Amino acid sequence: MQAASYVLSVGMEVHAELLTKTKMFCRCPNEFGGEPNTRVCPVCLGLPGSLPVINRPAVEHVLRTALALNCRIAMRSVFHRKNYFYPDLPKAYQISQYGETNPLGHSGYMDFFTEDGGERRVRIRRVHLEEDTGKLMHLPGRKSGVDFNRAGVPLMEIVTDYPPDIHSPQEALDYSYQLRLLLIYLGACDGKMEEGSLRCEPNVSIAPEGHQELGTKTELKNLSSFRAVQSGIRHEAERMRHALERGDTLKQETRGWDEENEKSYVMRVKEFEDDYRYFPDPDLPPMVFSEEYIEGLRAALPELPTAKRKRFMEDLGLSDYDARLLLAGPAWARFFEEAVAQGGDPKQVCNWMNGDFSHLLNEAGRTAEASKVTPAHIADLTGLIASGKISGRIGKEVFEHVFQTGRMPSDVVKEEGKEQITDAGSIREVVSEVLSQNPEAVGKYREGKKGVHGFLVGQVMRKTEGMANPEMVNRLVTEELER
């Protein structure tokens, strides 16, 4: 990490592609990938004479996110044109939102748990809506092509406040992790960093400790994982520190992150501030929202991850670690809550989900929704174990069976004779039989070699095909030996 004499400051700019059926200003489908230029129309190609029309669900996604981020909502908000030339920008302007209080949301904050379980607050400056650009592709023969499938995809930009609240690579990671989770819980974004649907772009600067002013900043791009966010920032802070210690002057630049080689490279040096000549887009009337509409959206917000995590820990008695694992996706958390609602013991349900179930899902490369296991299965299984009908070990066997077939654990237990033997009389019978068949072992025990106890228990378990209640077997073997 950087020397103690420098303070790292990180501002986060996060771009999230919104989960809408269609693009921001036209009716082209909003999907990832595909043959280049197959999801384009006159509007998203910027053909002469075409005009944009606002996608209402996209606006709603942003408003809901802004509310979840405790933002103030602009009751009247306009789109601006951000003018610049680049081959991937069809109209040579991007429809975006400019100004301090004009973006759909501004002046908010996000509270979240850090990796180490602490609580943090990062202030949010703005949440606004814009359109994505196309993608440049390099073709053979030093040629370039542009794929406009992505052009016009609704893009939400979330920017942290200034001066930055984030001062370490870990905090930047925690922030990104929590923001991604929030967006996924809101259904606003699928959060696929590797596909670029969620793009974290930190502004990194370092300044000598005690300095009021921040240092020259670098904007980092191409961070396609949380690990990249963390190592990219760490690397950049180091690079800056070395440069300053050498007596170099830092240049304001945009650097790309090369994840494979753990190195950043210069993409663009900013010698002067870009002049984007923002002005209100005359093609789009201002968006005006009523108080009722906004309050309706607020009331309909789902329980957000931070609140859910708190509830799991405080009301259900789960550990911080368990809660965090259960929250990893809304479907996973919902699964958990349904299993608990159907009578599953929270801790047991959690263990089965985060243990065997996760393991089997990983092996099968499947998601919970795509598997045959439902919350009812898990609740049933934990019930069988809690009531002593089956042992934990048999439970594992049963669960594998359930995972493959989708049958109810109770049915499996009944039909496969998996029910545990808890009748002391019948267990005692088997124990006596085992002892009489193993006189040597019984003799050794009585000579003081208590170790053979385990061997005898094992023999009993084998004879009962593992169906005997292990604790009872344990106790009864001792009783018989001591007799």
Partner 1 sequence: MDLCGLAAAQMRRMLDSREVSAEELARAHLDRISRLDPAVRAFITVCEDRTLTDAAEAQKQIDGGGQGALTGIPVALKDNMITKGVRTTCASRILEKYVPPFEGTAAERLRRAGAVLLGKTNLDEFAMGSSTEYSAFFTTRNPWDLERVPGGSSGGSAAAVASGMAPIAYGSDTGGSVRQPAALCGVVGLKPTYGRISRYGLVAFSSSLDQIGPFGRSVEDVICAFEAVMGRDPHDSTTVDMPYDGSKAREPVLKGRRIGVPSELLSGEIAPDVSHAVRAALDLISDAGGETEEVSLPMIEHGVATYYIIAPAEASSNLARYDGVRYGLRIDADDSIEMMKGTRSAGFGSEVTQRIMIGTYVLSAGYYDAFYTKAHQARTIMKRQFQEAFRKFDLLIAPTSPVPAFRLGERLDDPMAMKLADFCTIPANIGGFPAISLNCGFSNGLPIGVQLIADSFQEETLFSVALALENLLPPFALPEIEVA
- Residue 413 in 3-state DSSP? helix
Polymer length in residues for the chain: 483
The three-state secondary structure class of 278 is coil
How far, in Å, CA of 345 to CA of 354, rounded? 14
Binding map of partner 1 across residues 247-286, x = CB under 8 A, - = no contact: --------------------------x-x-x-x--xxxx-
H/E/C letters for each residue in 371-397? CCCCHHHHHHHHHHHHCCCCCHHHHHH
What's the closest the beta carbon of residue 65 comes to partner 1, in angstroms? 23
Q: How far is the CB of 44 from partner 1 (least distance, A)?
A: 11
Q: What stretch of H or E contains 8? A: strand 6-17
Strand bridging mode 72-73 / 218-221: unpaired
Assign 3-state DSSP to the chain and report helix, strand, coil percentages, each to 5.
40, 20, 40
The one-letter code for the residue type at 278 is Y
Which C-beta is closer to partner 1: that of 210 or that of 282? Answer: 282
- Closer residue to partner 1 in complex, CB, 14/40: 40
Closest residue by Cα to residue 17 from 3, 33, 4:
33
Positions in 22-51 near partner 1 (CB under 8 A): 42, 45-51
**Contact criterion met (CB below 8 Å) for 253 and 218:** yes
Contacts of 277 (CB under 8 A, 6+ apart): 81, 83
Closer by beta carbon to partner 1, 78 or else 384: 78
Of the two residues 12 and 43, which places its CB atom closer to partner 1 in the complex? 43
Which of 53, 269, 307, 386 binds partner 1 (CB under 8 A)? It is 53
Query: Which one of the spans 8-16, 80-88, 171-179, 185-193 is the region binding partner 1 (CB under 8 A)?
Result: 80-88
In whole angstroms, the minimum distance from the beta carbon of 269 to partner 1 comes to 16
Binding mask of the shown chain, residues 119 to 148, with x at each position contacting partner 1 by CB under 8 A: -------------------------x-x--
Q: Please state the closest distance from residue 27 (CB atom) to partner 1, in A.
A: 10
Question: Residue 130 is encoded by which pair of tokens?
Answer: 């814009």
Q: Which of residues 198-237 bind partner 1 (CB under 8 A)?
A: none
Least Cβ distance, residue 241 to partner 1 (angstroms): 33
Structure tokens, 140: 């053979």
Q: State the DSSP string of 166-187.
A: B-SHHHHHHHHHHHHHHHHHHT
Count of residues in contact with partner 1, rule CB under 8 A: 30
Element counts in the chain: helices (H) and strands (E): 16, 16
Query: Alpha-carbon distance 98 to 107, whole Å?
Result: 14
If the CB atoms of residues 273 and 363 are measured against partner 1, the closer one turns out to be: 273
> Does the footprint of partner 1 cover residue 93 (CB under 8 A)?
yes
**Closest distance to partner 1 from the beta carbon of 55 (Å):** 12
Based on its alpha-carbon atoms, the radius of gyration of the chain, rounded to whole angstroms, reads 30
Q: Give min distance, CB of 39 to partner 1, in A.
A: 15
Among 91, 125, 150, 234, indicate the residue that binds partner 1 (CB under 8 A).
Answer: 91
| Closer by beta carbon to partner 1, 91 or else 389 | 91
* Residues found near partner 1 in the complex (CB under 8 A): 42, 45-54, 81, 83, 85-87, 90-93, 144, 146, 273, 275, 277, 279, 282-285
